Amino acid sequence: MEDTIAAISTPVGEAGLAVVRLSGAGALEVADRCFVPLGRGRVRVCEAASHTVHYGKMVSCGRRLDEVMLTVYHPPRTFTREPMVEISCHGGILPAKLVLDALLAAGARMAEPGEFTKRAFLNGRIDLAQAEAVADIIHSRTELALEAANEQLEGRLSRRINLLRDDLMSVLAHLEAHLDFPDEDIQPDAQEKIRARLEEALGFMGELLRTANEGRILRRGIRAVIVGRPNAGKSSLLNELLGQDRAIVSPLAGTTRDTIEETANIRGLPVVFIDTAGLRVAGDAIEQEGVRRTREALARVELVLHVLDASDLWTPEDTAHLEEFSGKKRILIRNKIDLRARMEMPPGIGSRVIDVSCVSGQGIEPLKDSIKELVWAGELQAGMLQVMINSRHQEALNRAREATRRTIEAMDGGAPLDLVAIDLRIATGAVGEIVGKTATEDLLDSIFSQFCIGK
């Protein structure tokens, strides 16, 4: 990591400011070639103290590019634990690009996606679970998701994973010590203690694995499709849940031809609502495509919001839709209760029913409560947010749990210690993957390639 990397760390587009970041052994020298300090007390970048801000201009081939503020960071108190420079220039596509081009021409190279965070990991500033938390913070869509990501960045999950790994390694060391003295068998009481420690580790893995679903919801959100007959009020319901007029509302049936996706914060949970075309026998090719997309959306969601028109009668078509959606978590929403109610729900429908009026807003808050209760059982506890694992952690913990179970079974079956130790090494390695202690280069590339450039 002797080379110096550079990238724009703020989103592309017009804004008040843009930030261009440099990191690497030659970061200060590269910045010196492009930055001209101005004002009193000006110093060269290489001579500047750490965590100081300097006013000046960026130049290239003698041409002034922009007026900037430049911040200098000396290791180890930097994000990457390398020399770093951050340049704040005027926002907009062109100023930031010109500053970046000047740095690249001065000896830096373009950073790869997530390379700044990867260097922070490789230099020991953070572990792999904390590195993933950086991406989670960037992508957070609710305060709860942000809080959970911050807890992980603080190392709450990492500390528990490291304790688990230390326990497994301690047992493994005990077994391997006996392998060095094959004539001495493990005494029954010692074997029982080892078994108890492994059972305790299994229990702890189970506790962590139970947080996987909640972690997935907070990070990715849940997808909820809004379906129903034409003109039942699906688009009106979407607008009410979002708190804005996102979908076109019309008394004419079939206004919505395509699916519309928008994310809303529902009681702290990110919910992706998908408004769809009305379920019906389609006429023209456009209607057919709209209905096809509706059914496609139904196949990949966790929750169905089935909207019914309370001012209309129940039809055989509604019964058919009930049967079609029976395999999904579902809420029946009887809309238009501000009008004269005519619909009577059939007995034994097996789904909760919420009455709403998208005109007055009546019933919308109870509907939000029902959505949250259906996808997230129980209360959101602060302690839960500290250790919510992601899908990668879940996969690694599942491998570790299965290997630990095989270890216990091998011990109970009187298997040779060298065979018992094989599965325990697998379990220890799988747990170590979570924090990056046994991660392969391919795994690191896979994780950091999902980051944005400049982070």
Q: What is the pLDDT of residues 307-325, one digit of tens each?
A: 988 888 888 888 887 887 7
CB atoms within 10 A of CB 28: 22
DSSP 281: -
Domain with CATH 3.40.50.300 in the chain: 219-375
In angstroms, the CA 167 to CA 339 distance is: 65
Q: Is the pLDDT of residue 187 over 60?
A: no
Distance CA 204, CA 215 (A): 17
pLDDT in tens, 119-177: 999 999 999 999 999 988 888 888 888 888 888 898 999 999 999 999 999 988 888 87
Q: Are 372 and 218 in contact (CB under 8 A)?
A: no
**pLDDT for the residue numbered 245:** 66
Mean pLDDT of 221-225: 85
List where CATH 3.30.1360.120 sits in the chain: 5-111
User: Which pTM was predicted?
Assistant: 0.79
CATH of 219-375, one of 3.40.47.10, 3.40.50.720, 3.40.50.10470, 3.40.50.300: 3.40.50.300
Mean pLDDT of 214-225: 83
Amino acid at 159: R
Percentage of residues in the chain with pLDDT exceeding 90?
Answer: 40
Domain 130-211+388-448 has CATH 1.10.620.20: no
- The CATH number of the structural domain formed by 5-111 is 3.30.1360.120
Check residue 348 and give its pLDDT: 72
Greatest alpha-carbon span in the chain: 88
Residue 419 CB neighbours (<10 A): 13
Q: Where in the chain is the domain with CATH 1.20.120.430?
A: 130-211+388-448
The span from the CA of 148 to the CA of 151, in Å, is 5
- Across the chain, what does the average pLDDT equal? 84
Model pLDDT, residue 290? 59
Q: Are 93 and 431 in contact (CB under 8 A)?
A: no
The pLDDT confidence band at residue 253, using thresholds 50, 70 and 90, is: very low
Element (H, E) at 272: strand 269-275
* Average pLDDT value for residue range 42-65: 93
